[in-house]
Structure 1
Amino acid sequence: MQKITVGIVEDNAQLGQDIRDKLALTEEIEVTFEVRNGKELLQTLGKSDVPQVLLMDVQMPEMNGIEATWQVKKEYKDLKIVMLTVMDDEQKLFEALKAGASGYLLKDAKPHQLLNAIIDVIEGGLPLSPTLASRVLSYMKGEKEIPKQAVKTFNVLSKRENEVLECLKRGLTVKQISDNLFIANKTVRKHLEHIYEKLHVHSVNEAIIKGLGL
C-alpha cells in the first residue's frame, strides 16, 4: 500500500513530536519533514519532494500558518493543507479557508481523527473540528444571517447540489455525504463537479467560501 506523505509545520518541538506520535500509530502515513515556521516551510518545499498533505500550525513566528498557506497555494495548488490550532476560532477558520486550507482541526484531535482528516482531504473533503463545523452549519440553519452573496449562490444550484453543499459545510466526507443522502460515492463526486462548474471554483473550500458569501 502506498503511504500518504505528510509534512508537519509546527513551531513547538514537543507539539510536533506529539503529532508524529499520533501518526506513528498507523502505517498509512509517512512524515517526510518537520519545520518550525512558514519561511522554513517554503525553503524546504523548494529543496525536497512535495508531500501530499501539510499539517500547519496557525500561530507561528517568522511567518504564520495562514500567510504560509497563501504563499504555498500560489506555487503548489494541489497540495492539501490542514490547519492545526489550540483554539476553535471561527474568524481564523474563514481566513484559513480563504487562503486555501482544506481543513481545520484542534491540536488535541485523537489519532484516528487526525488520520481520518488526512484521508478526507486526499479524497476532496473538508475536515473541521466539530465545534467549528456546527458554527458553519448555523449559517445554513438560519441561526446566523447568510450574506446576500450566498443567497445568489444557492439559487444557481439544484436542490440536490445545495444538499451536497450543505453537507460539505458540516465537514462531512464524500462517504458520509453518500450515506446521509442515500446516493453512491460516484454520484456525490458528480454533484461536486457540477457545483465547482456552476460556482466557478476548483476545490471544496472555495465552494464553501463562495457558498457563504465570504
Structure 2
Amino acid sequence: MQKVTVGIVEDNVQLGQDIRDKLALSEDVEVLFEVPNGLTLLQTLAKGIIPEVIFMDIQMPDMDGIEATRLAKQKCTDLKIVMLTVMDDEQKLFNAMEAGASGYLLKDAKPYQLLNAIYDVLDGGLPLSPSLAGMVLSYLKGEKVMPKPTIAALDVLSKREKEVLECLKRGLAVKQISEELFIASKTVRKHLEHIYEKLHVHSAKGAILKRLGE
C-alpha cells in the first residue's frame, strides 16, 4: 500500500514534534517535511516537495496559516490542508474555509482524529473538531443567526441527508458515517453531493459559506 504523504507547518517545535509522533503511529503515513511558517511552506512547495495533506498552524510569524493556505492552494489546487489551532474560533474557521482549507481541528486532537482527518479530506470530507462541527450544524439548522441573510437549508434536505449532517456534527469521517448508518461509503458521498447540490454549492466548505450568506 502506498503511503499517504503529509506536511506539517508549525512554529512551535514541541507541538510540531507532537503532531509528528501522533502520525508516526500509522505505517501508512509519511511526513515529507516540517516547516515553521507559511513563507517556508511556499518555498518548499516551489521546490516540488508537495504532500497530499498538510497540517497547518494558524498563528505563525512571517506568514499566518490562513494566508499561507490561500497562496498554497493557488499553486497546488489539489492540496488538502487541515488547520490546527489551540482553541475553537468560528471566525477563523470561516476565514480558513474561504482560503481553501479542507478541515479544522484542535491541536490536542487524538492520534486517531489526525489520522482519520487525513483519509477524510482525501475522501472529500470536511473534518472538524466536534464543537465546531456542532456550531456549523447550528448554522445549517438556522439555530444560530449571522447578521447577513441565510437560507433555511434543512427544509430542502431528506431525512437521510439530515442524518448525515448529524454524523458530521459528531465529527465522524465518511467511513465512520457509513458504519453508523449501515450504508456504503459511496452512498455517503452521494448524500453529501445531494446536500451540496441542494444548497447550490460544490463542496463542504462552500455549503458552510453559502449558509452564512456568502
TM-score w.r.t. length of structure 2: 0.86
Separation (CA, whole Å) in 2 of partners of 1:97 and 1:130: 16
Contact 2:136/2:208 (8 A) holds in 1: no
**Matched-pair contact (CA < 8 Å) for 1:100–1:206:** no
Q: Distance in 2 between matches of 1:29 and 1:63?
A: 27
Seen in structure 2, the aligned counterparts of structure 1 residues 142 and 198 have a Cα distance that, compared at 3 Å, is closer
2:72 match: 72
Report the CA distance between 1:196 and its aligned residue.
4.1
Q: Which deviates more, 132-141 or 22-31?
A: 132-141
Whole-Å separation in 1 of the counterparts to 2:165 and 2:212: 10
**What do the CA deviations read for 1:74-124 (whole angstroms, capped 9, x no partner)?**
221211101011111121111111111111111111212211111211111
Query: Taking structure 1 as reference, are residues 154 and 140 closer, same or farther at Cα in structure 2, changes over 3 Å only?
Result: closer
- Whole-angstrom CA distance in 1 between matches of 2:43 and 2:211: 34
Match of 1:98 in 2: 98
SS in 2 for 1:6: strand
Shift of 1:159: 5.3
Task: Tell me what 2:145 maps to.
Answer: 145
Alpha-carbon RMSD:
2.4
Give secondary structure in 2 for the equivalent of 1:56: strand
Aligned match of 1:183: 183
Partner of 2:133: 133
CA distance in 1, matches of 2:72, 2:200: 21
Alpha carbons of structure 1 residues 11 and 171: separation in structure 2 relative to 1, 3 Å = same
Aligned to 2:108: 108
Q: Which amino acid in structure 1 is aligned with residue 68 of structure 2?
A: A
Give structure 1 stretches of 5+ with no counterpart.
Answer: none
User: Cα 1:204–1:89, aligned 2, differ >3 Å: closer, same or farther?
Assistant: same
Which AA in structure 2 matches 1:80? Answer: K
The answer to whether the Cα contact below 8 Å between 1:154 and 1:211 also exists between their aligned partners in 2 is: no
Residues 183 and 212 (structure 1), Cα distance of their counterparts in 2 relative to 1, 3 Å cut = farther
Q: CA deviation at 1:160?
A: 4.2
The aligned residue for residue 174 of structure 1 is 174
Residues in 1 aligned to 2:150 and 2:142: alpha-carbon distance in whole angstroms: 15
CA deviation map 1:156-207 (0-9, x unaligned):
6555445545544554322233344443222222233334445454432222
Give the match for residue 11 of structure 1: 11
Aligned to 2:89: 89
The residue identity in structure 1 corresponding to 2:176 is Q
Higher relative contact order (CA 8 A, sep 6+): 1
Please list the CA deviations of residues 37-63 of structure 1 after superposition, one character each: whole Å capped at 9, or x if unmatched: 111111110102311000000001111
- Which amino acid in 1 is paired with 2:30? E
1:58 and 1:84 in contact (8 A); partners too: yes
Q: 1:148 to 1:166 in 2, by over 3 A?
A: farther
Is the CA contact 1:57–1:65 (under 8 Å) kept in the aligned structure 2? yes
Pair 1:209 & 2:205 matched: no
Q: TM-score, structure 1 length as denominator?
A: 0.86
Distance, in Å, in 2 between the alignment partners of 1:141 and 1:154 is 6
Amino acid at match of 1:84: L
C-alpha change, 1:213 and 1:180, in structure 2 (3 Å) is farther
